[in-house]
Chains A and B, each alone.
Chain A
Amino acid sequence: MLDKIKDFASTFFVTGDPLIYGADVSIALTMIAILFVLTYYKKWGWLWKEWLTTVDHKKIGIMYLISSLLMLFRGGVDALLMRAQLALPNVEFLNAEHYNAVFTTHGTIMILFMAMPMMFALFNMVVPLQLGARDVAYPFLNALSFWLFFMGAMLFNLSFVIGGSPDAGWLSYPPLSEMSSSPGVGQNFYIWGIQISGIGSLATGINFMVTILKMRAPGMKMMKMPLFSWSVLSSCVMIIFAFPILTVTLALLFLDRFLGAHFFTLDGGGNPMMYVNLIWMWGHPEVYIVVIPAFGIFSEIVSVFSKKKVFGYKSMVFSMMLISVLSFFTWVHHFFTMGAGADVNAFFAISTMAIGIPTGVKVFNWLFTMFRGRIQMKQPMLWTLAFIPCFVVGGATGVMLAVAPADYQYHNSYFLIAHFHQVLIGGVVFGYLAGIYYWWPKLFGFKLDERLGKWAFWLWNIGFYLCFMPQYALGFMGMTRRVYTYGWDMGWAPYNIVSTVGAFMMGIGFIFQVWQISYSIKKGDRDLTGDTWGGRTLEWSIPSPPPVYNFAVVPEVKEQDAWWDMKEKGLDKIRPDHYEPIHMPKNSSIPFIMSVFWFVAGFGFVFGWMWMAVPGMIGVFGCLIARSFSYDTDYYIPAEEVRETELALRGNV
């Protein structure tokens, strides 16, 4: 009996690696610290009432933000581990198996558990405020989406210490990811972690699409909507078409692994190439899903910090919509070398290059928004300015990759790694950071320190170029991606060491940002006007941080930059003479509980433990039923209370 338990424990818990023991200890210490603080300060009730059960989009946004920053940290540590291993030839810091697990988790976490939730953080923090709405279309679903993402991410992260991490790459091509080549539970963690959070992402896509279509303030025609909201709409449309493909693909892979089906193995009539097609039909739109909102962010920031109306609004809207359509017709460029034939390759080469056109147009529009403006070098603008050259060069190397015959030489090499990091870091990360700096004062009521921010900015930027420019060269030298080590023979060493130095500079940049946040919580400039930067859109018309109900009186929109327009006409000083009661959704514990059941079920499926998976699923359905029987889901904030809140926040009603 004892032997059996020992046996089980030694496969269940990952052991034998100092890094993992380190992780075990730090997880345990963090847990103890959290439990202690919550208990000591008697904060359990507060945590439950204010956060775990909240349906307020602003709070959900903040929870997304915190989780995505944590995941950026985890993904970043993975990146630094890899760069440490690759710094010099023949390094023995990580072994092959460990390196493979690390790049797989790094890629998966960065895209699905960092970029996506950071994007959802911005959706939640900004969209309803920009539209002049009091909440999203389905607040309950919104909370559920967050908790599904959170539980999926936790399940995925658990694989590092329990059962073993997946190691077949972030897209898990079969047959490598099939039972025959990856017998451990790592792939199952991958499937279920993504699957659970993917349901949440799909729901968020639907939720925000409906919000944008239905909840705009009176007078806000589509063509008067702020560009960030447009970018969110375009991203949501892509989510709605792309995520179901992912769900199905992963489900089929799971059936292959779990029931021995043969969807993706030739012996038995399936086809691995079908998987590659399917996963990229999701995967390519996915990269546009995360980058388009960044375009929206830049459009807002460029206009505000150049004190000028955005140039070519219609062009901007049209190009975003065009990109979201085209992005579904380029997926094959990820495997030109799979021998699909000249016709297919030529078609997808051209369609890929075609996406460069609307993207290039946006850059010109941003430039001409600054032209004849007055550019203020505040933090959000700094990141925007850094984004432009980075993204332009990254976009150009993307066009180079689209040249199908030339791609036969770039494919799976460091040239590709350099390209996609340039667009993902230069576009997505810089973009979201710009957005976070920009909207932070709105959500929290204080600014992030400029001086520390500049340090972070320069470290990130210089580090970025040092890290990734040498990798273009490494690609031309024949270095392939995903190698955990190499010899002295190819002359790769000098480039790799420069690259590693750059990566660590970005790591230090991140530390500066953590410092910046903690410093600013105490000492950051408080913002009492609600309009920190001289904004143009509706979110700047309400106090910071906004009250639960956002807008005491729903604004009337006349122009494209509604708030700017009101300020010009002097309407911004007018206060309403009376208030009406406001209808709001009630908090609910169901999203959280239901997601915990999902977690339990997912964990059961990962290990093939039906005694755990089945009760988990029953719990999930139980929650659905419980929700459909709960009638008492909303309440009214009395007019008097609204008046008092506004009085306290604005001081001059």
Chain B
Amino acid sequence: MGKTKWLSRLKVLLTAAMTMVLLSGCSDKFIVLDPKGPVAETQQKLIIISVILCAIVVIPVLALLAFIVYRYRDTPDNKSPYKPDWHDSKLLETIWWGIPIIIIGILGAYTVRDTYALAKPKVAADTKPLVIQVTSLDWKWLFTYPDQKIATVNYVQIPAGVPVHFQMTSDAPMNSFWVPQLGGQAYTMPGMAMQLWLQADQPGEYYGTGANFSGKEFAHMRFQVEAKPQAEFNEWAKGIASGPNAALTKEGYQELAKPGSVEKPVFYSSYPPELFDEIVDKNGGSYMEHGGNPHKAGEPEAGKSEGTTGGGSNHDMSHMNMGK
């Protein structure tokens, strides 16, 4: 019959397409699965664990489905048993309530372990984390380095092997700061200072992007992350500060914050030191500390740029008035 032939051809085509997709996957394009830092590594391991645990249920179910449909079709010469009234079995039901419970139990344990592990970074006593402040704008990323006193747009350089403490906010609609190879994302929100800890193990170039839709030119909100050995990083920071780059002034910031995207990275030799806090404060000003309550600007504990809090990317939800 012509129809079945056509269908089987389609199936061949489908298989071919899928194989192509899978094979080409062996390259390094799958950046989420190609971690270059401890945070991303933990996440990749979790992804693999979850795939395996899910497969323990999914594969038998699919096999069972294929078998049952094959065996019990309604054909006149089907000799397999037919039990129209059989509809209950305590044993079977116990098995399939039990297995998923066990699997979810195991996966849940791993999940909880790593959720807590990633909330607080492991910082060795002798390393000093680098603080970088991130502001998502309409439609570009501003990075300010409080210790190096320089600023960049759509480009971040970090020292390899050093934990980086990103403090994040937004002076535009919410966005999400995401560098897949270094670890997951976190939201940037106007009026709030969020925390995210990332680290690159080796020097290299990594892709960074905004992940939460924020309006018209959202698609262009990409940035480049470059990890360099500490010495080279120091060199670079000095070079930016003393080089021919302009300084970012308050007026310059007003200009930069206007809607529009930025094609090439921009570097500033300096910026108004209180800029980040001013951005947070003018939009409402709450600072998210580890496990604690958000602080309003002006309160003594307010998470200023020293970055000594050692907090994770977590803040309490008590300020959210969850409407319960």
A residues in contact (CB < 8 Å) with B: 96-97, 100, 168-169, 173, 175-176, 181, 245, 265-268, 271-274, 277-278, 281, 306-313, 315, 335, 337-342, 344-346, 349-350, 353-354, 356-357, 360-361, 363-364, 367-377, 385, 388-389, 392-393, 396-397, 399-400, 402-409, 411-413, 458, 462, 465-466, 469-470, 473, 475-478, 480-486, 490-491, 494-495, 498
Given contacts A267-B282, A399-B54, A473-B30, whether A361 and B115 have CB atoms under 8 Å apart is no
Q: Is the CB of A392 within 8 A of B62?
A: yes
The complex places the Cα of A402 from the Cα of B108 at a distance, in Å, of 9
Q: Mark B20-61, 1 if CB is under 8 A from A, else 0.
A: 110011010111110000001011001100110011011001
Tell me whether B176 and A411 are in contact (CB under 8 A): yes
Q: Given A96-B217, A403-B50, decide whether A469 and B21 contact each other with a Cβ distance below 8 A.
A: yes
C-alpha spacing A344/B314, complex, angstroms: 10
Q: CB within 8 A of A483: which of B57, B100, B219?
A: B219
Interface status of B78 (Cβ within 8 A of chain A):
yes
List the A side residues contacting B17 at CB < 8 Å.
Answer: 466, 498
Residues of B within 8 A of A490 (CB): 29, 207
A459 to chain B, nearest CB (A): 9
A567 to chain B, nearest CB (A): 12
Taking the nearest CB of chain A, how far is it from the CB of B270, in angstroms? 28
CA distance A497 to B217 in the complex (A): 23
A522 to chain B, nearest CB (A): 22
Chain B residue with the shortest CB-CB distance to A401: B50
B64 touches A374 (CB 8 A): no
CA distance A345 to B78 in the complex (A): 52
**Contact present for B174 and A176 (CB under 8 Å):** yes
Q: Is the CB of B43 within 8 A of A100?
A: no
Q: Does B112 contact A (CB under 8 A)?
A: yes
Q: Contact at A412–B211, with CB atoms within 8 Å?
A: yes
Contact A281 B323 (CB under 8 A): yes
| Nearest opposing residue in chain A for B96, CB measure | A364
Distance in angstroms from A262 CB to nearest chain B CB is 9
Residues of B within 8 A of A486 (CB): 219
**Contacts A271-B319, A375-B74, A498-B21 hold; do A100 and B215 have CB atoms under 8 A apart?**
yes
Which of B192, B322, B323 contacts A266, CB < 8 Å?
B192
What is the chain B residue whose CB lies nearest that of A314?
B88
With A181-B173, A361-B97, A408-B43 already in contact, the answer to whether A337 and B315 are too (CB < 8 A) is no
Q: Name the residue among A175, A350, A403 with the largest chain B CB count within 10 angstroms.
A: A403
B219 adjacent to A266 (CB under 8 Å): no
**Is the CB of B164 closer than 8 A to any CB of chain A?**
no
Taking a contact as CB atoms under 8 Å apart, the answer to whether B115 and A349 are in contact is yes
Instruction: Considering the complex, give the chain B residue whose CB is closest to the CB of A399.
Output: B54
Docked complex Cα distance between A388 and B47 (Å): 24
When A and B form their complex, which 5 residue pairs have the shortest distance between CB atoms, in order from nearest?
Answer: A408-B184, A266-B284, A266-B191, A341-B314, A176-B173
Q: What is the number of residues of chain B that contact chain A, defined by CB distance less than 8 Å?
A: 111
CA distance A175 to B210 in the complex (A): 16
Task: Contacts A309-B87, A339-B187, A367-B64 given; indicate if A406 touches B43 (C-beta within 8 A).
Answer: yes
Q: Which of B42, B100, B118 contacts A357 (CB 8 A)?
A: B100
Q: Given A267, A356, A477, which contacts B284 in the complex, CB threshold below 8 Å?
A: A267
Which residues does B use to contact A, with CB under 8 Å? 7, 10-11, 14, 17-18, 20-21, 24-25, 27, 29-33, 40, 42-43, 46-47, 50-51, 54-55, 57-58, 61-62, 64-65, 68-69, 72-74, 78, 80-89, 92-93, 96-97, 100-101, 104, 107-108, 110-112, 114-116, 118-119, 172-174, 176, 178, 180, 183-187, 189-192, 194-195, 207, 209-219, 282-286, 288, 291, 312-317, 319-323
Closest-by-CB residue of B relative to A495 is B21
Pairwise interchain contact A176-B20, C-beta atoms closer than 8 A: no
Q: Which residues of B are found within 8 Å of A367, using beta-carbon distances? A: 61, 64-65, 68
CB pair B29 A349 closer than 8 Å: no
Please tell me which one of the listed residues A400, A402, A495 contacts residue B51 in the complex, with CB atoms under 8 A apart: A400
Residues of A within 8 A of B88 (CB): 311-312
Question: In the complex, how many angstroms separate the beta carbon of B74 from the nearest chain A beta carbon?
Answer: 4
Q: What is the minimal beta-carbon distance from B31 to any residue of chain A, in angstroms?
A: 5
**Closest residue of chain A to B107, judged by CB?**
A353
A-B contacts besides A277-B323, A339-B194, A481-B213, 8 pairs, CB < 8 Å: A173-B173, A176-B173, A273-B189, A357-B100, A360-B96, A396-B57, A409-B184, A412-B212
Given contacts A482-B218, A483-B219, A491-B29, contact A373 B82 (CB under 8 A): yes
Contact B68 A406 (CB under 8 A): no
Question: Quick one: given A278-B323, A412-B211, are A346 and B86 in contact (CB under 8 Å)?
Answer: no
Enumerate chain A residues within 8 angstroms of B62, measured Cβ to Cβ.
389, 392
Across the interface, which residues of A come within 8 angstroms of B180, CB to CB? 409, 478
Chain B, Cβ-Cβ closest to A249: B323
**Residues of B close to A491: CB separation below 8 A:** 27, 29
Question: Once the chains are docked, how many angstroms separate the CA of A168 from the CA of B174?
Answer: 12
Q: Which of A339, A354, A372, A478 has the most CB of B within 10 A?
A: A339
Residues of B contacting A315 in the complex (Cβ-Cβ under 8 angstroms): 93, 97
B118 contacts which chain A residues (CB < 8 A)? 405, 408
Q: Are A271 and B320 in contact (CB under 8 A)?
A: yes
Indicate if the CB atoms of B33 and A342 lie closer than 8 Å.
Answer: no
Q: CB within 8 A of B31: which of A168, A338, A392, A478?
A: A478
A405 B29 Cβ-Cβ under 8 A: no
CB-nearest residue of chain B relative to A173?
A: B174
- Chain B residues lying within 8 Å of A408, measured Cβ to Cβ, are 43, 118, 183-186
A contact patch SS: helix
A494 to B25, CA, bound (A): 11
A266-B192, A363-B61, A372-B81 are known contacts. Are A403 and B107 too (CB-CB below 8 A)?
A: yes
Are A411 and B57 CB-contacts (below 8 A) given A388-B65, A466-B17, A480-B209? no
Nearest-Cβ distance from residue B318 to partner chain A, whole angstroms = 10
Give the docked Cα–Cα distance between A648 and B248 (Å): 87
Known: A267-B284, A476-B33. A411 touches B82 (CB 8 A): no
With contact pairs A470-B21, A476-B33, A478-B180 given, residues A356 and B104 touching in the complex (Cβ less than 8 Å):
yes
Given the complex, which residues of A lie within 8 Å of B47, measured CB to CB?
400, 403, 406, 409
Contact A494/B20 with A339-B195, A346-B115, A372-B86 known, Cβ cut-off 8 Å: yes
Assess whether A346 is in contact with B315, with CB atoms less than 8 Å apart: no
Given contact pairs A350-B111, A406-B47, A357 touches B61 in the complex (Cβ within 8 A): no
Contact B84 A373 (CB under 8 A): yes
The answer to whether A339 and B72 have CB atoms under 8 Å apart is no
Q: Report the minimum CB–CB distance from A97 to chain B (whole Å).
A: 6
The residue of chain B having its C-beta at the shortest distance from the C-beta of A465 within the complex is B14
Given the interface pairs A408-B185, A490-B207, the reply to whether A374 lies near B74 with Cβ below 8 Å is: yes
Q: Is the CB of A475 within 8 A of B51?
A: no
The minimal Cβ–Cβ distance linking B280 to chain A, given in whole angstroms, is: 9
A174 to chain B minimum Cβ distance, whole angstroms, is 8
20 A-B pairs in the complex with CB atoms less than 8 angstroms apart: A96-B218, A176-B213, A181-B215, A245-B323, A266-B283, A266-B285, A338-B187, A349-B115, A373-B83, A389-B62, A396-B55, A397-B54, A404-B111, A405-B184, A406-B47, A408-B184, A408-B185, A409-B43, A473-B25, A478-B207
Collect the chain A residues with CB atoms within 8 Å of residue B192's CB.
Answer: 266
The answer for the CA separation of A405 and B174 in the assembled complex, in Å, is 20
A267-B83 CB under 8 A given contacts A353-B104, A404-B115, A405-B114: no
Residue pair B111, A349 in contact (C-beta under 8 Å):
yes
When C-beta atoms are compared, the residue in chain A nearest to B214 turns out to be A176
Q: Looking at the complex, which one of B7, B61, B82 makes contact with A374 (CB distance below 8 Å)?
A: B82
Contact across chains for B315 and A342 when beta carbons are under 8 A apart: no
Within 8 Å by CB of A271, from B68, B176, B321, lies B321
Question: In the bound complex, how far is the Cα of B314 from the Cα of A361, in angstroms?
Answer: 35
Q: Are B286 and A266 in contact (CB under 8 A)?
A: yes
Tell me the complex Cα distance, A349–B113, Å: 12
B260 CB to nearest chain A CB (Å): 12
Q: Are B317 and A340 in contact (CB under 8 A)?
A: yes
Q: Do residues B213 and A169 form an inter-chain contact, with CB atoms below 8 A?
A: yes
| Complex Cα–Cα for A309 and B89 (A) | 13
CA distance A281 to B324 in the complex (A): 10
Please report the C-alpha to C-alpha distance between residue A35 and residue B69 in the assembled complex, in whole angstroms.
50
